[in-house]
Amino acid sequence: MPEAPEARPPVVTPVRVVIALCLFVPFVAMLWVGSYAKTDPAFIGIPFFYWYQMAWVLISTALTMIAYQLWRRDQRGRSSRKGGVAE
């Protein structure tokens, strides 16, 4: 990248690592099919395989929401810092 401003905060920060994890965890959970390819325990008669994946719709939504909130906070922090440096 040619014109990086001098006082730029680091690209990788703990908050961003958490964001990346929130987005990455669903991939591990869903692609590891062996971890949930079973019928028991059933929930109101629905085999584990099905309710578990549907529960993950909710879990991954919650994770994406967390990522979204953290990202907004991160961006706000950055833009206010940037405003101070003058652009």
Indicate which single residue of 65, 76, 77, 85 sits in contact with other proteins (rule: CB under 8 A).
65
Indicate which single residue of 14, 33, 80, 84 sits in contact with other proteins (rule: CB under 8 A).
33
Please list, residue by residue across 36-69, b when 16 or more beta carbons sit within 10 angstroms of its beta carbon and e when fewer do.
beeeeeeeeeeebeebbeeebeeebeebeeebee
Residues near other proteins (CB under 8 A) are 1, 22-24, 26-27, 30-34, 37-39, 42, 44-47, 49-50, 53-54, 56-58, 60-61, 63-65, 67-68, 71
